Amino acid sequence: MPDLHPSYPIRTARLLIRPLAAADTEDLLAYRSMEQVCRYVPFYPMDSAAVAEKLKESWARRMIRAEGDSLTLGVELAESGALIGDVVLFFHSSEHRGGEIGWVLNPAYSGFGYATEACHALLHLAFGQLGLHRVVARVVEGNSASLRLADRLGMRREAHLISNRYFKGAWVGEVDFALVEDDWATQHAPGGGLGDRPR
Ligand SMILES: CC(C)(COP(=O)(O)OP(=O)(O)OC[C@H]1O[C@@H](n2cnc3c(N)ncnc32)[C@H](O)[C@@H]1OP(=O)(O)O)[C@@H](O)C(=O)NCCC(=O)NCCS
């Protein structure tokens, strides 16, 4: 059974990716309480009680041990120490070595490639230490910033599902992206595709 137990923090060019802590509450609330941030994600604007509950439960996990686990990690800006977002990796299937990623960024830090850089680090964990075969991202149609992000990550647009989810009171479609381990290896081969740098 594959598992994932990273050494923290995971360092990228500009970021530290690491577990969330109670000290992050204010920074988390700064964006997770915003309507505009929650529009296309499966949670609603959070208050401090909701953040505290998450910090005690699913966000307290530091590793992936078994199918069904998810790992939510904070995205910290190295130069200031500010917590600017969070990313999540779901381990869906041990048999199929399948997982999924998701992302949320404080809009105050949008437009600098930080989400791309953090997700890239998460994909490294997914295909590296966890040894996944296939990682998907499911983006609600209309979420144009996330569609661009998945494209930037080199993920393949595999399907546009029409009206497939009853989401926050309405039927919405979804664009499904995926990367398989061969794609990842090709993209990171010397001279190939994305290279090893964040884009
Ligand atoms: C989706 C989301 C994370 C995208 O944020 P973002 O700031 O656009 O993404 P990045 O941090 O990767 O920045 C990329 C932008 O910075 C620009 N950029 C500047 N420097 C860059 C660099 N060094 N590397 C990459 N992009 C860079 C890019 O051109 C891009 O701008 P564009 O989309 O206008 O072309 C953000 O909109 C968000 O949190 N949305 C709400 C949560 C959500 O809907 N999540 C979906 C879960 S499926």
User: In the chain, where are the structural domains located?
Assistant: 10-187
Q: So what's the pLDDT on residue 190?
A: 77
CATH fold of 10-187: Aminopeptidase (3.40.630)
At 3 the pLDDT is: 87
Q: Predicted confidence band at 189 (pLDDT cuts at 50, 70, 90)?
A: confident
Between CA 40 and CA 27 the distance in angstroms is 20
Q: Give the pLDDT confidence score for residue 15 in this predicted structure.
A: 98
pLDDT value at residue 199: 39
pTM, full prediction = 0.95
Which protein residue's CA is at the shortest distance from atom 22 of ligand 1? 113
Is residue 143 classed exposed, middle or buried when 0-12, 13-18 and 19+ CB atoms within 10 A define those classes? middle
Q: Which of 70, 149, 155, 174 to mutate to test the pocket of ligand 1 (most atoms within 8 A of CB)?
A: 149
Question: Pocket residues for ligand 1 (CB within 6 Å)?
Answer: 37, 40-41, 102-105, 110-116, 137, 139, 143, 145-146, 148-149, 198-199
